[in-house]
Structure 1
Amino acid sequence: MVRGIHKLFVSNLPWTVGNIQLKNYFQSLGLRVFSANVVFDKKTGLSQKYGFVEIGKNQLSLLEEKDHKLEGNRIFFQLAQ
């Protein structure tokens, strides 16, 4: 973790979600988003349905809502290792 930034592992993303949609979702929660990256298969170009989001320190409390949904999918996140 870079000082002042939390990196989140985000899973169960809809296959239609890209970097911009992922960033916009977390920004809509009131978070300061430094980066948002969905992981794509290098051969097929399809989403692997997970990604990473970097948010500002002391913002984890804004994620306490239990049920986060993006394009109909319930998404899950945890601090990345």
Structure 2
Amino acid sequence: RKMMCVCEIREGLQISQPSVSKHMKILEVAGLVEHKKNGLWVDYYLADGGKSPYASSLMGNLRYWLEDESEIKELVKKLSDIR
């Protein structure tokens, strides 16, 4: 459950900061991510699914569906190299 700020997510995904912020808010409302304030920054991390039974199930399914996708593996490596 690595924490990442919007700027790190933006760098990894190559999309605008407002777009990242908007989508992270949607994911947070859905119970898929949570945030923690870090001074001026907001760090996001994957939720454990405790706030929503649907989120827990969805996260498990996503891991299963995406585990062998080469694009996802490349993105995970790229994001892990940031910071």
TM interval, short-chain normalised: 0.3 to 0.5
Give TM-score scaled by structure 1 length.
0.35
Question: Which of the pair has more CA radius of gyration?
Answer: 2
Bigger RCO (CA 8 Å, 6+ sep): 1
Q: Which has the higher strand share?
A: 1
